[in-house]
Amino acid sequence: MNFGLLGFSAAIAFAAMGSAIGAGAAGMAAVGAWKKCFAQNRPAPFMLVAFVGAPLTQIIYGMILMNSIMAVAEPTMAHLGIGLFGGIAMGFSAAFQGKAGAAASDALAETGKGFVNYMMVLGLVETVALFVMVFLLGTI
């Protein structure tokens, strides 16, 4: 068995796990923030959905890395490492982006201000996953 082939599934799997954790964390915070708004008879900001969905983009980066590994004629153990560690790094980016999205959900629902600032923070956290993907694609 060629263990290098496991690299492509590791890339998407770990990126997806992080995205699920991140979206779940941000989603729980958004639901809680909406509940506070409803309890205070204030309008619930729909924009919180953007914070919940932000971690899902790392799945796309994992898929791009996966497809690049699959395109290699004979994957090696190095490709296993690329997929494994790249997927884990993208997953961590997604998980922490979700935590930042959770804090942003609470802040936006409470103040009604700062959406662009919060999205910039989420974008910076996402940049980690982009860098990982681009740099690893250069090694394939």
> With DSSP H G I counted as helix, E B as strand and the rest as coil, what are the percentages for the chain, rounded to 5?
85, 0, 15
- HSE, CB side, 13 Å, CA atoms: give it for residue 98: 26
pLDDT of 5: 83
Dihedral (CA of 64, 67, 73, 76) sign: positive
Residue 58, φ and ψ in degrees, nearest 5: -65, -25
- Tens of pLDDT, residue by residue over 2-51, are 788 899 999 999 999 999 999 999 999 999 999 999 999 999 999 999 99
26: closest CA among 130, 131, 127, 121?
Answer: 121
- Tens of pLDDT, residue by residue over 110-131, are 999 999 999 999 999 999 999 9
Q: Which tokens hold the place of 67?
A: 């497809």
48: closest CA among 112, 94, 125, 92?
Answer: 112
pLDDT at 1 over 70: no
pLDDT of 29: 98
Where does residue 111 rank: exposed (0-12), middle (13-18), buried (19+ CB within 10 A)? exposed
What mean pLDDT comes out for the span 64-83? 91
